[in-house]
Structure 1
Amino acid sequence: MRFGLLGPVEAFRADGGPIAVGGTRLRALLALLALDAGRIVPTERLIEGLYGERPVTGESNALQSQISRLRRNLDTAVEFHPAGYRLVVDGEEVDAHRFERLAREGRAAGAPAVRSELLGQALALWRGPALADVREAPFAAAQAARLEELRIDVTEDRLEADLELGRHRELVTELQRLVAAHPVRERLRGQLIRALYASGRQAEALTAFEDARRTLADELGVDPSPELKEIHLAALRGELHAPTAPARPGTPGMAAGGGTALPAQLTSFVGRQDDLDQVGRLLERARLVTLTGPGGAGKTRLALEAAAAVPGEVGLAELDGLAEGGDVAQAVLTKLGLRVGPDEPDPADRLVAALAGRRMLLVLDNCEHVVAAAAELAHRLLSACPDLRVLATSREALGITGESIWPVPPLPGSLAVRLFEDRAAAVRPGFAVDERNLADVQRICRALDGLPLAIELAAARLRSLPVAEVAARLEDGLGLLSRGSRTAQPRHRTLRAVVEWSWSLLDEQEQRLARRLTVFAGGAGIEAVERVCGTPDAVELLTSLADKSLVEIVGDRYRMLQTIRAFCAERLEEAGEVETYHRAHAGHYLALLREAAPHLLRAEQLEWAARLDPEHDNLLAALGWAVGADHAMALRIFADLSTYWWLRGRRGIGVRPARTLLAALGPDVPEGLEGEYAICVASSAEGGVHLETAKRLMRAMDLVSDRPQLTYFWGSFVGPSIDDGFLAVMMERVMASDDPWIRGLDHVGRGFLCYLMEGDVAGIEREFSRALDYFRSLGERLGMAMALSELVRVAAWRGERERFTELIEEALRLVGELGAQEDIADLLCQRGEGELLLGDLDQAWADYERAAELARRVGALEGTTRASCGLAEVARLRGDLEEARHRYEEVLARESSGSFGESLTAVQIGVALGWIDAAEGEVERAAARQEAAFAAALHVQSLPVLASVAEGLAGVFSLRGAHDRAALLLGVGKGLRGMTLPGDLDVARVVERARAALGEQGFAEAYARGTALSREELAELL
């Protein structure tokens, strides 16, 4: 688990997924604990930090409540001690502590390059102002100020290191921005003057000093410090020179004696400090170290940086210009400036003679095309020259005894972004990654697999294209990144050239498997590769491809980087094998889905869902291919994939592919696939001709037996329907089944009828309890959670706090086991709604906030809407009518899909806005709102919603003084819902006014007339 304080307070799981912490108070508590991560924080300090020196009454109980919620959200990462509480994590898991550790190490480092890298890593941890979203907490201001001060100090130290490295030109823009933000920091002023002067902008440097002098006088009433005056004087005298770049390790006259000076680098070294440290340690204990990795991963640059840090003599032999089959020993001799004498005809003998007895590091760069010869030479030299060490770079290991291998992987996300920013600023001065372009830059880096060469080529395109355009065009990454450095070897100038070079080193069998592997979108296990690619010796070939960095091995799966996969896919097309192997791929994953289908609705569902999880990209790819090539296969894949999505709480994923598939199908339904077609229609959440066709098929055929999940999908996406007896037909089909899962679903359907159409509270509890029993008998978690969530509603209606808590926690545990984030969000909203009735507005707010965060993360639009409405309702009940109105109207402004759920929401928002209007004294506007809500509610077939509208209208009549009509409408609400809600404060106020005006008997009589009215009589009454 990781925690972030350098920006908004955040928490992340070990896999990088964010954790919803909760409201502002919970985030402040987490920040307090994280500032002392791993140490006990006394209770008194927590109370003072959260509530101030004069805390509110009952602060100890309030703290215990907050701790309990935080423990629940963080899965018990907070530990209780008699003296206080402790966040059970290492300090390195908190970005603020990691920042301070890197800052210390960076300042202590001797070499400016190392200082710059470490301090840059420290600064890269910042995501915004420290503790940005908890600044109102009493403790936060001082802690944030301390961290911000340290941040600017570290920034100045990093700039100093960069100035020592001669990076004056690239620092000017950054320094100008920093001076504008911190105008009285003299060290920044001095650094700006030095950077301007060394960049040839002497006049601007002198102007910068005058600006500093004037600002210090105006703001602080002081003169510039002696240090700043000294910098100014040196500029006036022409003595302010850039420091000489540090010399690379080497010996004068090395060309004559068997060594070469390492080339000076023209760009900064970004993102590989950890790799550099590890390679340095390997070179201390091993005599042969080989850096392996795909083309463009940055092996050469890492090798040069590692060699530069090694004391003593270094020799560099670049083999990329050597033809395949060329004489490696002769090439090394030439690169080292040595010649073969007349008595030494063998170049290898000459090398041994030249290097024997010398302490030297020999860098053999780009060995992959001559790997056998390079391995033979390295073995001979190391055997004959005991003080020699070899650092090699190759796309595959040399494969000799004593070799230590360091794989050079693509850059991870944050480091890839830093590299892009650095290289983009070089071609577009002033470019910086910020909240406006971060998503595009991350998209670019992901599309390019974090390969440094590809990122640098993409950054170079900012000369002519905006970053958003580069991100949009990267579907053709190999084509877009077609320009590189003119001075690089031809095979290193473009991304395509790099991959093409790797391809040319493969034999025919390796090329055949490499192109066929491209049908796998998310990697694959060995069994899938053998079945789909038709390659009996796949293990050996995959090992060879992995050795040559064309394939990555992740656990027990093999995957290609996207850039390599795109190139090899072109070769698949050239070979005329696209149809054959995409069909084999789709068939394999359809068979996997068919095998999984019955298990997904039983106790073993976790095991089977876990088997499908790593295959999700492949399943989507199979569906995408089948939509365009085989509609029958596409329908089969979609139907079974929908069950997996439903189980994992990712139902919204299917909407777009369902609509695409239906558009491709046209009016024809493949024979024998009527059930699959109906699932596709339900998942599309659209009406029209397909909806009518599906309903016709479902009336005429028993589709439930083959596709039991169909009934659930239909109810979830389309909503209840009683037209033409359709609902009765479907329930008859369900009742005829002896499958316990379908029987459980039958009781779910009956429970919803009791809830939506009958106002039968006892029936709701009875039917969902029976459904729960059926699902428990199967061990089917999502069915159990679905039944529990409705029992939770009844417990909240009745004010049964203990039962409410017990049921909702079990439901959350079950969907948590499934990893169903969308369902967790729904259940949090359900808990929030219950907490509103039970009177805990703070807990409701926290639940809605967490639900909104989860729903946004997984793209669950209905979940986001429900959570937004919940937050608006809490604001309304707290009396913040302006905030409530804003949130409700924001939801109404969103584009509507016309789904059943959205129709219900629109009515509920109308009722809430009517209550807001009434509270503001706008009686007629409130009446118009409630009447419009009633008209809409008649079409959505939900008695609880109608009940809420009737109660909203009662509020309007109460304000008009028509208390008899208000009491009657309150009775209507009870009759429609089956009960009154004891925690409904709006209704309670209307009841109080009506009773006061009518007397107890008059109120009771009017109320009783209302409970007896039917929906038709109510409509006529209005």
Structure 2
Amino acid sequence: MSLRFSLMGPVRAWRDDEEIDLGPRQQRAVLAALLLNNGIRLSNDQLIGMVWDDPTPSAVMALRTYTYKLRKLMPELDLRSKDGGYTLRAEVFDDCRDEPFVGMTSTYFEAQRVRVANERLQCREALLEREMDVLELQKHVAAFPHRERPRALLMRALYREGRQAEALEQFHQARALLNDELGLEPGPDLREVHAQILRGELTVQRRPEQLPPDIDDFTGRAEEIARALDTLPRTVGIAGMHGSGKTALAVRIGHLARDRFPDGQIFVQGHDVASELLRAVGVENPVGDRAALWREKARGKRFLIVVDDLQDPVSVKDLHVPGSAMILTSVRRWNELPGVTWLVIAGLAVPEAREFFAKIADPARLAAEPELVTRVLDRVSHLPNPIRVLGGKLSSRPRFTVAMLLRQMERETALGEAVPSDCQAVLAPMDKADRQLTGDQRHLLECFTRQGAEEVDVCEAAAMSGGDVAAIELLMEALADVHLIEPLELGRYRIPSYVRIYYSLRTPALTS
């Protein structure tokens, strides 16, 4: 069971979905004062001064009675008393639709009402600034005609829509209103927007919405998603071999977290990350120190940034801005980057791989041959991208069974260089990985395939390849860094089946 509270309208509390009767007004006032100072110790005198404007000597006893009754009403309430004071920690839920602290009449609550109302107004205007919706801004300006900030925002929004005359008319209306009712001239912000429009120099910062669409059949990775959401806005890195679904995972996390970053989402692929970020917020052809310019543009804002397939850690090293979040994807884990929480992913867990396969291919056909489904998934090391290709292939051939699919995969493995297009699609992630290897690294993997090795230690690898043990150890660690072999213990590694299958296609041509 959980407790939650609201201070908007009358002070209220719920246990799960059932509302709790909080008792008389002053008892609710004691609870409200504690909730307003959530986690802060309040002395008896402080609490009494908040609840009563003219307390009588009996106020101390009344306070003790009210706190006792609150504990009795809510035994699970984290209300602690120590050294003549009280501390409360609780979850407060506010929908901002009602006036706060209804029924609370002390001077303290009157002052808090003014403070909360002003904070709500500022939050509303910050939201309007992010969204720049003309209709909503017009409603807000009509409700608060003397506030200059929303008037300036409305002028910007109108100008952005090509309604320059209407934008200028807003300035003249504000000037007449302030002159007639307050004897004032518009302030510097309103005057500056007016002057920028007249000079044709007004620019409106873009709100980027670049996050790719989420994938409907995304499956698994619950632990990684939970850890990433807990880590943001600190930087999250996702590392794994080609085909493991790093980009799909980053996009899924981005969509789940996007509401926490209202200034926009930016998706970057490329080496010049700083320039791409600046272009996303409207800075074309940036010059000078682009990382410093980005930090200046992003200061005080909350952006969600996904840098996909990071190739050079230097390109992101100086781009972090407090409040904004960055998600990096990379084959390699860049340990030299400070402050990054790395998630290393490989194939899906076995149940998740089967679930994902069944979302793409006919579940009934898969259920009829469960052992063969296991063999198909094992051959591609449960990696999402090859599973998607195989599921699509099976769906496109209604008369195919899983056994037929498996026989075709085994026959294609023995064909050497004559690889059909479907097989090429399944192995495309390995093609990309292979192009990034050195000749010595590739030779080592081909040696493992010739020998049929599934696990190998450094000495065995040296014997297979004819290389020096120290040099081979460096090659093995480099292959482990890009997830083409998996470290089991010091000096011993496993070669995933997906990697073995790929190099079995290359090896016959090399040894013929």
Report the TM-score when normalising by structure 1. 0.27
Unaligned runs of 5+ in 1: 1-107, 109-250, 485-492, 579-1022
C-alpha change, 1:572 and 1:437, in structure 2 (3 Å) is closer
What letter matches 1:317 in structure 2? Answer: F
Runs of 4+ aligned residues of structure 1 deviating over 6 Å after TM superposition are 477-481
C-alpha change, 1:473 and 1:318, in structure 2 (3 Å) is farther
Once the two structures are TM-superposed, the CA of residue 409 in structure 1 deviates from its matched residue by 1.7
Tell me the residue number matched to 1:330: 275
What letter matches 1:306 in structure 2? Answer: I
Once the two structures are TM-superposed, the CA of residue 502 in structure 1 deviates from its matched residue by 1.1
Once the two structures are TM-superposed, the CA of residue 555 in structure 1 deviates from its matched residue by 3.2
Aligned pair 1:542/2:476, yes or no?
A: yes
C-alpha change, 1:261 and 1:574, in structure 2 (3 Å) is same
What letter matches 2:406 in structure 1? Answer: A
C-alpha change, 1:504 and 1:333, in structure 2 (3 Å) is farther
Tell me the residue number matched to 1:526: 458
Tell me the residue number matched to 1:292: 239
Contact preservation (8 Å) 2:274, 2:316: no
Once the two structures are TM-superposed, the CA of residue 467 in structure 1 deviates from its matched residue by 2.4
Aligned pair 1:499/2:430, yes or no?
A: yes
Tell me the residue number matched to 1:276: 225
Cα deviation code 1:244-284 (max 9, x no counterpart): xxxxxxx6479943632423234322122222122223336
Out of 292, 306, 315, which is 2:265 matched to? 315
Aligned pair 1:365/2:342, yes or no?
A: no
| Higher relative strand content | 2
Tell me the residue number matched to 1:443: 375
Cα deviation code 1:375-433 (max 9, x no counterpart): 11221112xx23333211111012322222111120122211111001114xxxx7464
C-alpha change, 1:513 and 1:282, in structure 2 (3 Å) is farther
Cα distance between partner residues in 2 of 1:570 and 1:331 = 39
> 1:222-301 residue pairs with structure 2 within 5 A?
252=131, 256-257=205-206, 259-283=208-232, 287-301=234-248
Equivalent position SS for 1:257: coil
Unaligned runs of 5+ in 2: 1-16, 18-129, 134-203
> 1:414-425 residue pairs with structure 2 within 5 A?
414-425=351-362
Cα distance between partner residues in 2 of 1:401 and 1:476 = 47
Once the two structures are TM-superposed, the CA of residue 553 in structure 1 deviates from its matched residue by 1.5
C-alpha change, 1:467 and 1:388, in structure 2 (3 Å) is same
Cα distance between partner residues in 1 of 2:495 and 2:411 = 17
Out of 378, 381, 394, which is 2:319 matched to? 381
Equivalent position SS for 2:327: strand
The number of residues matched between the two structures is 301
Cα distance between partner residues in 2 of 1:417 and 1:339 = 46
Report the TM-score when normalising by structure 2. 0.53
Aligned pair 1:551/2:499, yes or no?
A: no
Contact preservation (8 Å) 2:205, 2:282: yes
Contact preservation (8 Å) 1:523, 1:559: yes
What letter matches 1:316 in structure 2? Answer: I
Aligned pair 1:471/2:406, yes or no?
A: yes
Q: Which has the higher contact order (CA 8 A, sep 6+)?
A: 2
Tell me the residue number matched to 1:919: none
Cα deviation code 1:455-486 (max 9, x no counterpart): 111110121133221122222567888449xx
C-alpha change, 1:318 and 1:359, in structure 2 (3 Å) is closer
Contact preservation (8 Å) 1:293, 1:549: yes
Cα distance between partner residues in 1 of 2:436 and 2:223 = 30
C-alpha change, 1:352 and 1:510, in structure 2 (3 Å) is farther
Contact preservation (8 Å) 1:448, 1:477: no
Aligned pair 1:354/2:291, yes or no?
A: no
Once the two structures are TM-superposed, the CA of residue 570 in structure 1 deviates from its matched residue by 3.9
Cα distance between partner residues in 1 of 2:358 and 2:272 = 41
What letter matches 2:218 in structure 1? Answer: F
C-alpha change, 1:504 and 1:406, in structure 2 (3 Å) is same
> 1:146-165 residue pairs with structure 2 within 5 A?
none
What letter matches 2:426 in structure 1? Answer: L
Cα distance between partner residues in 2 of 1:365 and 1:409 = 17
C-alpha change, 1:354 and 1:516, in structure 2 (3 Å) is farther
Cα deviation code 1:324-345 (max 9, x no counterpart): xx534334445x3533356x35
Out of 283, 287, 293, which is 1:339 matched to? 283
Tell me the residue number matched to 2:495: 560
Cα deviation code 1:12-65 (max 9, x no counterpart): xxxxxxxxxxxxxxxxxxxxxxxxxxxxxxxxxxxxxxxxxxxxxxxxxxxxxx
Cα distance between partner residues in 2 of 1:476 and 1:365 = 35
C-alpha change, 1:476 and 1:275, in structure 2 (3 Å) is farther
Contact preservation (8 Å) 2:365, 2:401: no
Tell me the residue number matched to 1:515: 446
Cα deviation code 1:823-851 (max 9, x no counterpart): xxxxxxxxxxxxxxxxxxxxxxxxxxxxx
What letter matches 1:338 in structure 2? Answer: G
Cα distance between partner residues in 2 of 1:253 and 1:502 = 45
Equivalent position SS for 2:317: helix
Rg larger in structure = 1
Out of 394, 397, 404, which is 2:333 matched to? 397
Equivalent position SS for 2:318: helix
Equivalent position SS for 2:393: helix
